[in-house]
Structure 1
Amino acid sequence: MSEAMAMVGLFWIAQGDVYVGAKPSGLSPGVRLTPDGVTALGDGGSGLHLWEDVHGLTVTDVPLRSLMRQVGAVKDLALGTVANLALPGSGGPVEEAPAMMTVRVTSSGVDHDLSAYVAAANGYASTEVELSQALLSRLTEGAATMATTLAAMSEWGRTAEAGTPRRQERERLLREWAA
């Protein structure tokens, strides 16, 4: 049985696990939000930042969805298809690594920059980015708020069956979780 996962704003929710950006695999960098704190994953990760010490949580370098970004993705797909048809043994175009975002964790007056892969190939919708940033800020408001919010996100991830919901539903979820 495959793992149920969905993207809601800047968050990747797989079963009950909540990540900022894409869920990492192997030694790939990533950021997981747990009831204990913000965890840097992968090679070079700097461990756990406990919620009680976290006073700020933001994401920078977020690629925004744009018409040009979508046209570029379609163009790359078309060129790859043509290359595969013209040169069947070529193995296709060389894939670029996904873009990276920076998750900035402020704890004890010090900023820690963690890396996470972008999960949205064509970038993120600006409304979802704004709502996600508000939600991240809300997580730093205290233990009760953080626990309730993460529990709601995790519960949704465990019960979501259809994968990534449509834009309106994603925005509704982000607003609900940030309230």
Structure 2
Amino acid sequence: MAMVGLFWIAEGDVYVGAKPSGPGPGARLTPEGVVALGDGQSGLHLWEDVRALTMEDVPVTSLKRRMGAVTELALDTVVNLALPGGPGPGGGPPAIMTMRVRTHDGEHELRTYVAAVVGYSSTEVDLSRTLLSRLTEGAATMATTLAAMSEWGRAWEGGSPRVSQREELLRQWVS
């Protein structure tokens, strides 16, 4: 599994945001359409009905965000040493992003977990948004783009690539 921009690619499956587990919210991109996952959201939005995909509440990485993550990790370590069996790392659920799916019958809001602890680079965010827009350009474009993402996911071994590699992959998938 790997994070590339706003996408989480696990083997051949492509998710927007982190891959959800259990009742957690998420969205999966399939050749048929956008699948809403998790408690409180369900359904399949067929590509033929999807007019636009947009993302909101996307955290962009910054020095302040990075320092906050380091500080939180240090505090969690101290609390866990002082109180064995304490709250554990992170202290809560991941942040949430909002994906808006506009179809012929209105706009649908899907919540997804943020996969990047300190946020995404602004370049990754821009490229990811362009890629989501590209998926709505037509069946051939969507099928080719999703196939390339899935194929990469099946071939990739290891964790998420470095930022520069992720940005390059997004550029390839957008072109």
**Normalised by the size of structure 1, how large is the TM-score?**
0.93
Q: Partner residue of 1:175?
A: 171
| Structure-1 separation of matches of 2:14 and 2:88 | 34
| Structure-2 separation of matches of 1:162 and 1:93 | 23
CA gap 1:71/1:140 in 2 versus in 1, 3 angstroms: same
Q: 1:42 aligned to 2:51?
A: no
Match 2:60 to one of 58, 64, 68:
64
Q: 1:140 aligned to 2:172?
A: no
Q: Partner residue of 1:73?
A: 69
For residues 51-78 of structure 1, the C-alpha deviation after alignment (integer angstroms, 9 at most, x for no partner) is: 0010100110001111111111111111
For residue 118 of structure 1, what is the amino acid of its counterpart?
V
Q: Over aligned residue pairs, what C-alpha RMSD do you find?
A: 1.4
Q: 1:165 aligned to 2:158?
A: no
> Once the 2 structures are TM-superposed, how far is the Cα of residue 109 of structure 1 from its aligned partner?
5.1
**Normalised by the size of structure 2, how large is the TM-score?**
0.95
For residue 138 of structure 1, what is the amino acid of its counterpart?
R
Q: 1:124 aligned to 2:112?
A: no
Of all paired residues, the percent bearing the same amino acid is: 69
| Structure-2 separation of matches of 1:134 and 1:91 | 39
For residue 48 of structure 1, what is the amino acid of its counterpart?
L
| Structure-2 separation of matches of 1:90 and 1:122 | 23
Q: Partner residue of 2:91?
A: 95
- What runs of 5+ residues in structure 1 fail to find an aligned partner? none
